Amino acid sequence: MVQHYGSILSTAQQDENVDYSTTAQRELAIKEDTTAFIRAAQDLSSLIRELQELWLFGGLDTLTDPADEEANKAKALGLAALVEVLAMNMPVPHELEGKNGDR
């Protein structure tokens, strides 16, 4: 963004030639740099908004305590163990018995 802004200012300050073609070239260069500057500002604004949404709604979790992470990991491991026990003890549905050749 700074580069585009500097380019706009340097193009606008040139006063060497004042013929029609030079003025038209400068006008085009200023319009192009202004468009690029605005686009860069819009992209930056979109990025800032996405980061705010991630941070506010839980996707970007920068404020967690390491102890909380360990507790969540322990809960996840406990839940995985329970699911594994249930999977081992669960009877096979009748429609799956003949297809897999199991049981």
Distance of alpha carbon 19 from alpha carbon 14, whole angstroms: 12
- Does residue 33 contact residue 8 with C-beta atoms inside 8 Å? yes
pTM value is: 0.48
Vertex 3, ends 44 and 37: CA angle to 5°? Answer: 45
Confidence of residue 45 (pLDDT cuts 50, 70, 90): very high
Confidence of residue 47 (pLDDT cuts 50, 70, 90): very high
Q: Which range has the worst mean pLDDT, 18-22, 44-48, 99-103?
A: 99-103
